[in-house]
C-alpha cells in the first residue's frame, strides 16, 4: 500500500563561480594563452580572445564552474605561474 502523503525534496543546482585572470605588467601574453589552453582547455582562438580582454580591460573570465572545480583551477594557475616566475593573479567569484 502506498502512503497518502508525499514529501518533496528540494533539489538545487550547485553554486557556480567565475574564474578570473587579472592583468599585470610582468606576465607575458604567451604565458596567459598557455594557461588558458592548458588549465581551462580553451582553443587557441578562444585563449587569444580572453587574453586580449584581460590585457585591455584588466580582467577576463576563464570559465564558470562549481566551487570545487573553480578552486582547483585557481590553485593550478597559481602553481604554474609561480613555477614560471610570474605574478599572475587568478581569483574566483560567485555568479
For residue 74, which of 62, 83, 84 has the smallest C-alpha distance? 62
| 5-60 per-position pLDDT tens digit | 656 667 888 999 999 999 999 999 999 999 999 999 999 999 999 999 999 999 99
List Cβ<8 Å contacts ≥24 apart for 52-60: 54/21, 54/22, 54/23, 55/23, 55/29, 57/23, 58/22, 58/23, 59/20, 59/21, 59/22, 59/23, 60/20, 60/21
Give the per-residue pLDDT at 10. 77
| 53-74 per-position pLDDT tens digit | 999 999 999 999 999 999 999 9
Q: Model-level pTM?
A: 0.86
Amino acid at each position: 500500500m502506498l502512503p497518502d502523503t508525499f514529501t518533496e525534496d528540494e533539489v538545487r543546482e550547485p553554486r557556480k563561480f567565475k574564474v578570473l585572470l587579472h592583468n599585470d605588467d610582468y606576465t607575458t601574453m604567451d604565458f596567459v594563452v598557455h594557461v588558458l589552453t592548458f588549465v581551462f582547455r580553451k582553443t587557441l582562438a578562444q585563449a587569444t580572445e580572453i587574453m586580449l580582454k584581460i590585457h585591455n580591460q584588466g580582467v577576463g573570465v576563464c570559465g564558470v564552474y562549481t566551487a570545487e572545480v573553480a578552486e582547483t583551477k585557481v590553485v593550478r594557475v597559481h602553481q604554474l605561474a609561480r613555477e614560471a616566475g610570474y605574478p599572475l593573479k587568478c581569483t574566483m567569484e560567485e555568479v
